[in-house]
Amino acid sequence: MKHFLFLLLFGFNQLPATPDMRVVSRVVDGDTLWVTRENGPDEKIRLIGIDAHEIRDTPTKKAGFYGKEASAYLRKRLLGKKVRLEYDVRRYDRYRRTLAYVYLPDGTFINAEMVKKGYAIVLTVSPNVKYADKFILCQQEARRNSAGLWGVKIQ
């Protein structure tokens, strides 16, 4: 009976939530993708904590350095694959995109991988800072190893 009361009072909020598993239906660029919904239209996801340069000019931004490479890498890694989404404090950005950390079934943390391989840089926007320190370490490692955009010599 004591164990039941303990679980009732303290344990239920500690139980893991059901993982939010989705299939990637489209990759927009190196930090934005679409995932399927079980009932309804696909959902646009913006990777939290990172920024990959644009692949084409938009009304607010110019196409950026290493953007096409980042987009191609993310497409190769995720398109058609099942991923797990994890959310932080703020669920949507001002463009109504869902903000998420993305994981492959084997546990690969895609947001961190994009930074570590030099396809994206750290972009921390409060209050979604859960993995900010991890991303900074990944970026330092990418720079040390001249990974991705950090290894390109500009003439």
Burial call 90-117: b when 16+ CB within 10 Å, e when fewer: eeeeeeebbbbbbbeeeeebbbbbbbbb
Q: Which of 46, 75, 84, 143 does the annotation list as catalytic?
A: 46
Among the listed residues 22, 69, 77, 97, the single catalytic one is: 97
Residue 153 neighbours by CB distance under 10 Å = 5
Q: Would residue 54 show up in a list of annotated catalytic residues for this protein?
A: yes
3-state helix, strand, coil in the chain (%, to 5): 30, 25, 45
Annotation says 22 is catalytic: no
Between CA 103 and CA 37 the distance in angstroms is 17
Q: How far apart are the first and last CA of the chain?
A: 73
User: Which letter does DSSP use for residue 11 in this model?
Assistant: I
CA distance 37 to 90: 20
CA distances from 88 to 6, 39, 82, 132 (A): 28, 23, 20, 12
Instruction: Write down the catalytic residue from 22, 54, 69, 113.
Output: 54
Q: Which residues are catalytic?
A: 46, 54, 97
